[in-house]
Amino acid sequence: MNNGVQPVAIIMIEDDQGHARLIEKNIRRAGVTNEIVPFATGLTALSYLLGPDGSGKVHAGLPLLILLDLNLPDMTGMDILARVRESEHLRRVMVIVLTTTDDPAEIHRCYDLGANVYVAKPMEYEKFVNAIQQLGLFLSVVSVPEVP
Amino acid sequence: MVIARPAFSRAVPLLLMAGAILLLAVVLVSLRFANQTRQNSRDALEAAGLNDRALLLFSLVQDAETSQRGYLITGEEKYLAPFKRAEALVNLQFTSITSDMRKAGISDVTIDRLKRLVDDKLAEMRKTIATKAAGRDAEAVAIVRSDAGKMAMDEIREIMTRINAVTSNISFQKGISLDNAARWLLISITGGAVLLVVLVGGAVYLAAAHARQLEAARKALAEHNEMLEVRIGQRTQFLERANRELQSYSYIVGHDLRAPLVNIMGFTSELERAAAIFADYMKKPPAARDALTEKIALEAVDVDIPEALGFIRSSMRRMDDLINEILRLARAGSRQLSQDRLDLAALLAETVANLQHRLDESGASVVLSSNLPLVVSDRLALQQIFGNLFDNAIKYADPSRPALIHVSGAVIDGTAAIEVADNGRGIAERDQERIFELFRRSGLQDRPGEGIGLAHVRALVRRLGGDVAVRSVLGEGTTFTVTFAADIRSTKGRGET
């Protein structure tokens, strides 16, 4: 986007298809046209992110943004976050955590592990739409760091 | 725990008291015998003393006679000194032994007779001496020759012999009594000593026994305290575990039930939105409809509305499923457990038979160890536990090799420990606690499942008074160890669910 070379790819890790669809729809409505790569499980997402050599080198030079659901069937979003932050190539990738709880302890843990933004999925749909659309606006103005 | 037998501890002071009284009696008896001994020896000494003094009296009289004879023969005054001394002392000496002679049992007649004889003898000697002093020598000799003095002297000698015999007899008898009393004294002192030894020994033994009992009681109390602490620790662990489970349970309910709700809310709004678009289009006069608005309206009807309805329906179904599973788990926790006598070998063989078609399909096999134990537990719960574990082992077999499941077990200290080992794909270490949580799964999500089986297994095993643990190496296999009370009746009142 505004780095002008490569458009940001949005990696969406979300096991609930309904949530994934709603997020996608609302991001699109906010005017974000970037590619969205969806994953329903942690393992598939991690193998994509880290690549075959497990170092994340495959994404070198590409700007990435990860939308991460904490509550996955096969592992927790925290595990994925930790693995991403351990990777030399991915550790500065922007990670936005999306989850159904607003438990303060969990929010703190996410920030401690290096989440950039934490968005609770609110029960009221208007708020959810609002949050997602603000996220879309946010995505259209921030400068996403490139994977080194 | 025995602190002290009450009857025994009451008897201790009574026994000691009785012993003390007995000892006092022995001392009194000894005193009596000692007194007798003293009395007898004094009596014997007195009798001997009487004899001596009687002999002294006799020797005084003899001295007087010798002195008289000397004077009569020589006529010299110097021979009269012993006579004069005897004359002065005889009465005194006689008076001093009179009462003792009476005490020794010599009759008054004899005493009077002796007195008269001694007086007569002295009178005769005084007379001869006076006659000689007057110069009438022949008359003095004639008086001697009358034999009155000699006869008196002979009789005195005879009485003296009798006194000697009497006192000797008294001495002898008192000696025998003395010996007797001394012997009894010895016996009573010996008895006292023995009694003393017995008493002291008994007291020491009792004190030692009491000390031993106290020590044992103290030890038992300490052990009891320790046991109590261990028990409190166990209970606290159970409570902490229950508390943790409750927390994770509410977390799960919060997360997992909310997820479909968010969908329902979201797609309801999407539905409204699509309906509004279509309604707008329908309200427009046909002249105002262009190709773009028609495309949007058609998309709303053909794509958005069915999609929204589909998600709403599937979310509601998902919620229903989740609620049913939660209820099933809760019901498993409250079901009345039965106490069946079970041969685990038979029970597990039956469980395997129920899964036979799945085993045949996948080429898996189950090997049951030959020495599985007998237990008293709930049949249905055990079937569900092992059924779930076998099912998982078949489901998560390593595709490169047929599943092989080994079951072995034993009862140790009242706890049955059964191992179910497979050669499946294994579980990563970080997931080994997570797999027991409700709605959580591990590894590749390529098999159908809700993440309920192991949560159910854990809830059931804990109800049976045990727990389930896992050890696994990724790519090599997994071993579940199920422990539960070998006799479920021993867990009653443990308050576990």
**Residues B344, B330: one domain?**
no
The answer to whether residue B64 is domain-embedded is yes
- The answer to whether B263 contacts A22, with C-beta atoms less than 8 Å apart, is yes
Q: Report chain A residues whose CB lies below 8 A from the CB of B443.
A: 43, 74
- The answer to whether A100 contacts B265, with C-beta atoms less than 8 Å apart, is no
- For residue B483, the tally of other CB atoms under 10 A from its CB is 19
pLDDT in tens, B43-70: 888 888 888 888 888 898 889 889 988 9
Nearest by CB to residue A18, choosing from B256, B266, B440, is: B266
Nearest by CB to residue B263, choosing from A19, A73, A76, is: A19
First to last CA, chain A: 17
**Residues B295, B351: one domain?**
no
Nearest by CB to residue A121, choosing from B262, B270, B439, is: B262
Q: Report chain A residues whose CB lies below 8 A from the CB of B442.
A: 74-75
Q: Distance (Å, rounded) from C-alpha B290 to C-alpha B202? A: 123
**Residues B365, B390: one domain?**
yes
pLDDT of residue B207: 85
Nearest chain B CA: its distance from A21 CA (Å)? 9
Nearest-Cα residue of chain B relative to residue A44: B444
The answer to whether residue B300 is domain-embedded is yes
pLDDT in tens, A94-121: 888 887 777 788 888 888 888 887 877 7
Residues 6+ apart with CB under 8 A from A42: A13, A72, A74, A75, A76, A77, A79, A80
**Residues B205, B326: one domain?**
no
**Residues B287, B392: one domain?**
no
Residue B181 has pLDDT above 70, yes or no: yes
Of B304, B334, B364, which residue sits at a domain end?
B334
- The answer to whether A71 contacts B270, with C-beta atoms less than 8 Å apart, is no
**Residues B56, B125: one domain?**
yes
Residues 6+ apart with CB under 8 A from B208: none
pLDDT of residue B405: 92
pLDDT of residue B2: 46
**3-class SS string, chain B:** CCCCCHHHHHHHHHHHHHHHHHHHHHHHHHHHHHHHHHHHHHHHHHHHHHHHHHHHHHHHHHHHHHHHHHHHHHCCHHHHHHHHHHHHHHHHHHHHHHHHHHHCCCCHHHHHHHHHHHHHHHHHHHHHHHHHHCCCHHHHHHHHHCCHHHHHHHHHHHHHHHHHHHHHHHHHHHHHHHHHHHHHHHHHHHHHHHHHHHHHHHHHHHHHHHHHHHHHHHHHHHHHHHHHHHHHHHHHHHHHHHHHHHHHHHHHHHHHHHHHHHHHHHHHHHHHHHHHHHHHHHHCCHHHCCHHHHHHHHHHHHHHHHHHHHHHHHHHHHHHHHHHHHHHHHHHHHCCCCCEEEEHHHHHHHHHHHCHHHHHHHCCEEEECCCCCEEEECHHHHHHHHHHHHHHHHHCCCCCCCCEEEEEEEEECCEEEEEEEECCCCCCHHHCCHHHCCCCCCCCCCCCCCCCHHHHHHHHHHHCCCEEEEEEECCCEEEEEEEEECEHHHHCCCCCC
Q: Distance (Å, rounded) from C-alpha B214 to C-alpha B208? A: 10
- The answer to whether A73 contacts B441, with C-beta atoms less than 8 Å apart, is yes
Q: Distance (Å, rounded) from C-alpha B203 to C-alpha B191? A: 18
- The answer to whether A18 contacts B256, with C-beta atoms less than 8 Å apart, is no
ipTM above 0.85, yes or no: no
- The answer to whether A43 contacts B259, with C-beta atoms less than 8 Å apart, is no
Residue A6 has pLDDT above 70, yes or no: no
pLDDT in tens, A20-76: 888 888 888 877 788 889 998 888 898 898 888 878 788 877 788 888 888 787 778
Is A19 at the interface with chain B, CB within 8 A?
A: yes
**Residues B478, B374: one domain?**
yes
The domain segmentation of chain A, as residue ranges, is 9-64+78-140
**Residues B344, B320: one domain?**
no
Q: Report chain B residues whose CB lies below 8 A from the CB of A75.
A: 430-431, 434, 442
Size of interface A-B (CB pairs under 8 A): 78
Residue B314 has pLDDT above 60, yes or no: yes
Mean model confidence pLDDT for chain B: 86
**Residues B380, B307: one domain?**
no
Nearest by CB to residue A71, choosing from B255, B311, B442, is: B255
pLDDT of residue B199: 84
- The answer to whether B444 contacts A74, with C-beta atoms less than 8 Å apart, is yes
Cβ-based burial of B250 (10 A; exposed 0-12, middle 13-18, buried ≥19) = exposed
Q: Write out the residue range of the structural domain in which residue B62 sits.
A: 6-210
Is A73 at the interface with chain B, CB within 8 A?
A: yes
**Residues B127, B66: one domain?**
yes
Assign domain A9-64+78-140 to its CATH superfamily: Response regulator (3.40.50.2300)
Residue A14 has pLDDT above 80, yes or no: yes
Model confidence at B450, pLDDT cuts 50, 70, 90, reads confident
Residue B428 has pLDDT above 80, yes or no: yes
Nearest chain B CA: its distance from A4 CA (Å)? 32
pLDDT in tens, B128-169: 999 988 888 888 888 888 888 888 889 889 988 988 898 888
If you search the block for the tokens 């008192």, which residue do you land on? B174
Nearest chain B CA: its distance from A121 CA (Å)? 8
pLDDT of residue A1: 41
Nearest-Cα residue of chain B relative to residue A14: B259
pLDDT in tens, B63-120: 988 998 898 888 888 888 888 888 888 888 888 888 888 888 888 888 898 889 988 8
**Residues B103, B182: one domain?**
yes
**Residues B244, B169: one domain?**
no
Nearest-Cα residue of chain A relative to residue B437: A73
Which whole number is the average pLDDT over B345-360?
A: 89
Is A47 at the interface with chain B, CB within 8 A?
A: no
Of the candidate ranges B295-299, B360-364, B448-452, the one whose mean pLDDT is the lowest: B448-452
Q: What is the CATH number of the domain that holds B365?
A: 3.30.565.10
pTM (2 d.p.): 0.55
Residues 6+ apart with CB under 8 A from B93: B53, B56, B57, B60
Model confidence at A144, pLDDT cuts 50, 70, 90, reads low
Q: Name the percent of chain B lying above pLDDT 70.
A: 96
